[in-house]
Amino acid sequence: MMSKADLHIHTTYSIDGTASVREALGGAVRASLDVIAITDHDEVRGSLEARAISAEYGIQVITGAEVSTKEGHLVVLFIERNIPAGMSLIDTLIAVREMGGMAIAAHPDHPTLNSISLHSILTALEHPQAREALNGIEVCNMNPTHSPFNQRSQKAAETLPLAHIASSDAHIASMIGAAVTHFEGNTVRDLRHAIQRRTTQPEQVNHEMPVRIFFRWFGLYLSRKMKRFFIAKEMAQPLSSNLID
């Protein structure tokens, strides 16, 4: 039996996320996913919240975060607390190993500041402790900033001893499941074993133009910002009136 996972999803716990935890879980249901990982920027709270209510949606949730290393972003799975941002890739991977987690190179070898280079990945794989934690590499990332460069990731992954992962990197609920990772079995444990054995199968599902995805995200992002602004303004209004009185 093959199942589907999306292992790179953001919620409003990320500064650039637009979906609440419940909206993300709803998006996973609509995409017919079996397993998801909530991986907010340097923050595990969204994934812990999602796991706590996941039974209501019939979705299995892996806790995690997208950790900002000195060399770029790293999707970290199966952790229960935050890993400090800004450490070297090797030190971050050592911390992941100590926590019993596993890591996936996010949108690797892309010409963007937050992408880990092939050289850095190769260096990490030469380190005995770091190598134990680095288990996967994204060969398909559907974030509109990164999807134009997926061929670079695929080429980089060809000779590496890492599981091939496809993820949405969704910052809006409608993009969850835009790329999926197929694995044998149907549980979180099965998925972890498939990544360790490098038997995962990546698939791109959504083929929209990146610019259309970007503007859809941007509209929702602005809407969320404006809503928060007016809520904050309304909450401050009574205080201002009392001060005047």
Domain definitions of the chain by residue range: 2-244
Look at the block and give the residue holding tokens 């589907």. 4
Of 196, 112, 176, 120, give the one whose Cα is nearest residue 150.
Answer: 112
At what angle are helices 118-125 and 89-98 packed, to 10 degrees?
Answer: 50
- Burial code (b: 16+ CB inside 10 Å, e: under 16) for 16-31 equals ebbbbbebbbbbbeeb
Taking only the tens place, the pLDDT of each residue in 184-199 is: 999 999 999 999 999 9
The identity of residue 121, as a single letter, is I
CA separation for the pair 134, 176 (Å, rounded): 24
Token reading at 149: 């460069």
**Confidence band of 166 (pLDDT split at 50, 70, 90):** very high
CA triple 208-213-214, angle to 5 deg:
145
The answer to whether residue 16 scores a pLDDT higher than 50 is yes
Q: What homologous superfamily is domain 2-244 in, according to CATH?
A: Metal-dependent hydrolases (3.20.20.140)
Token reading at 126: 């030469």
Dihedral sign computed on CA atoms, order 148, 31, 136, 42: positive
Give the per-residue pLDDT at 237. 65
Token reading at 143: 């974030």
Taking only the tens place, the pLDDT of each residue in 171-229 is: 999 999 999 999 999 999 999 999 999 999 999 999 999 999 999 999 999 988 887 66
Average pLDDT along the chain = 94
CA separation for the pair 237, 220 (Å, rounded): 26
The answer to whether residue 51 scores a pLDDT higher than 70 is yes
**Confidence band of 7 (pLDDT split at 50, 70, 90):** very high
Taking only the tens place, the pLDDT of each residue in 66-83 is: 999 999 999 999 999 999
Give the per-residue pLDDT at 243. 46
Burial degree of 206 (CB within 10 A; 0-12, 13-18, 19+): middle
- Burial code (b: 16+ CB inside 10 Å, e: under 16) for 213-240 equals beebbeebbeeeeeeeeeeeeeeeeeee
Give the per-residue pLDDT at 136. 98
Question: Which value, to the nearest 10 degrees, does the dihedral of the CA atoms of residues 138, 139, 142, 146 take?
Answer: 90
